[in-house]
Amino acid sequence: MHALKVTRAENFPEWYQAVCREADLAENSPTRGSMIIKPWGMGMWELMVADLDRRIKETGHENCYFPLLIPMSFIAKEAEHVEGFAKEMAVVTHHRLKNVGGKLMPDPAAELEEPYIIRPTSETIIGDAMSRWIKSYRDLPLLLNQWANVMRWEMRTRLFLRTAEFLWQEGHTAHATREEAMEETLKILHDVYQRFVEDHLAMPVVPGEKPENERFPGAVATYSIEAMMQDGKALQAGTSHYLGTNFAEAQNIRYQDRDGNLTLAHTTSWGCTTRLIGAVVMTHGDDDGLRAPATIAPKQIVIVPMLRGKPEDAEIRDYCASLAGELSAQRAFGAPVRAFVDMKETRPADKRWDWVRRGAPIICEIGPRDAAGGQVTFMRREALREGDKIRSVTLSRAEFVARAPAFLQDGCETLRREADERLRSNIRADIGAWADLEAYFGAEDDETSFKGWARVGWARPTGAALAEVADRLKSLKLTIRNAPREQGAVSGKCIFTGRPAVENVLIARAY
């Protein structure tokens, strides 16, 4: 018996929904396709933001804030961008409601001359500002970032993974040369995103370049980091784009170079979103719920007093409070330990399971014997069970307090090791022909069967030939995830065209 009603093996998508609900991460809202992020989920996001923001600032970027609403005409400026984004987005057409016979409606007298769209991304409105702010080479590089909500009118939504509104950071930079812009694009990919996701979220990724047909609309090159979920599917955990001079041309971002010539800037953009919370669930969760890496657990050590409505309750309460105080004076991951006493008026057993499902890294259960004997009985969430039994350990209070930071650190390492092992052992490199791919991925079609990734050689077709490849892959519900930056040896034939392979690419089902 596990703490969730459905296991990963039984039905992975249902299990995912169950974790989001039972771990109090988020829920659907009355606004179609938009979610409510609940405190435990939001707390995780805030800790992600703090760490990623630090990395973005350490690499020289500054935060700013641009308008939510973008004039419709701005979207039309970059030809591919309009094709890619003009489709599904929220359009603001009126600026007033009117009460007509007790019923509210948009006031026809308050129709906007030019509609606004709610930003799906901000290249156009930030590019417009760049064209005003950049005058000379002295103003370059311009390294901006913003934390914001964005909206894309998705038809089929899933909590965190695909929602109409989501939270993200979007970086936007302008540079004097192609080389500098490419260096930025890859610095974000490797030094910021990969390091953040692997080190802070304990989630191994493969960085690489997206094929032409998967590029950001308007980009010259798009890079991604791809993570493997427990059902084998890939999840794009961050993207970094080199935009060439496409947006600079569309929006007139020019600078006077050292020789006095007016020159087009090279721009980049890059983003990470709240879908990372979904990725954490699908990477580290188990059949008892979420296992939150201690780096992002809003409460790292939860103390449940085993109160029984008896006189010794007072002693237990005091003991828990002073234990929390001592733990908070310890440091883990460069910050004070986040310890919390759950004083809610519910049954201790219910609290235990609530915190197990939420994935608090350490859960202490303090009864009269612990309080009297100066000891701490606790569970570690990353290693909750021994066979069918819950693994509960008792240590002296002093030893527990001293070792708590190491427990938190070790817990993260365990999660990372499991995820590393999963990624390493589930990329098939033995698929040399289309028929092999078909045999592996076409065998059965139910969403619950585990399928890893395939690393295959290809001849990097473009245009119509690439579209045909994409269609064939689509018939197996597959996409090319990226061409890993670490290519290793490239040999054999392209599994699509039979021509000599020039590059390795990763193929997978994906979120």
Residues that bind a copy of itself (CB under 8 A): 29-31, 34-39, 42-43, 45-46, 62-76, 82, 86-97, 99, 104-106, 115-118, 125, 128-129, 138, 144, 148-149, 151, 153, 165, 167, 344-346
Pick between residue 89 and residue 469 the one whose CB is nearest to a copy of itself: 89
Pick between residue 194 and residue 300 the one whose CB is nearest to a copy of itself: 300
Q: How far is the CB of 251 from a copy of itself (least distance, A)?
A: 11
Pick between residue 70 and residue 501 the one whose CB is nearest to a copy of itself: 70
Q: Considering only CA atoms, which of 176, 220, 226, 224 is closest in space to residue 205?
A: 226
Q: How far is the CB of 113 from a copy of itself (least distance, A)?
A: 10
Pick between residue 273 and residue 414 the one whose CB is nearest to a copy of itself: 273
d(CA 151, CA 183): 29
Q: Considering only CA atoms, which of 2, 7, 11 is closest in space to residue 446?
A: 11
Sign of CA dihedral 494, 239, 415, 399: positive
Half-sphere exposure of 439 (CA within 13 A, CB side): 8
User: Pairing relation of β-strands 362-366 and 301-305?
Assistant: parallel
Pick between residue 298 and residue 484 the one whose CB is nearest to a copy of itself: 298
Pick between residue 205 and residue 276 the one whose CB is nearest to a copy of itself: 276
Q: How far is the CB of 350 from a copy of itself (least distance, A)?
A: 11
Tokens of 363: 């859960």
Q: How far is the CB of 233 from a copy of itself (least distance, A)?
A: 26
Q: How far is the CB of 83 from a copy of itself (least distance, A)?
A: 9
Q: Is 362 exposed, middle or buried (0-12, 13-18, 19+ CB in 10 A)?
A: buried
Q: Considering only CA atoms, which of 363, 345, 191 is closest in space to residue 288?
A: 363
Angle between helices 397-425 and 313-328 (to 10 degrees): 60
Q: How far is the CB of 149 from a copy of itself (least distance, A)?
A: 6
Pick between residue 129 and residue 433 the one whose CB is nearest to a copy of itself: 129
What stretches of 176-286 adopt beta strand conformation (E)?
A: 206-209, 221-228, 234-242, 254-256, 262-264, 266-273
Q: How far is the CB of 316 from a copy of itself (least distance, A)?
A: 19
Pick between residue 76 and residue 490 the one whose CB is nearest to a copy of itself: 76
First-to-last CA distance in the chain? 29
Q: How far is the CB of 279 from a copy of itself (least distance, A)?
A: 18
Check: CB of residue 17 under 8 Å from CB of residue 28: no
| Count of Cβ atoms closer than 10 Å to residue 103 Cβ | 7
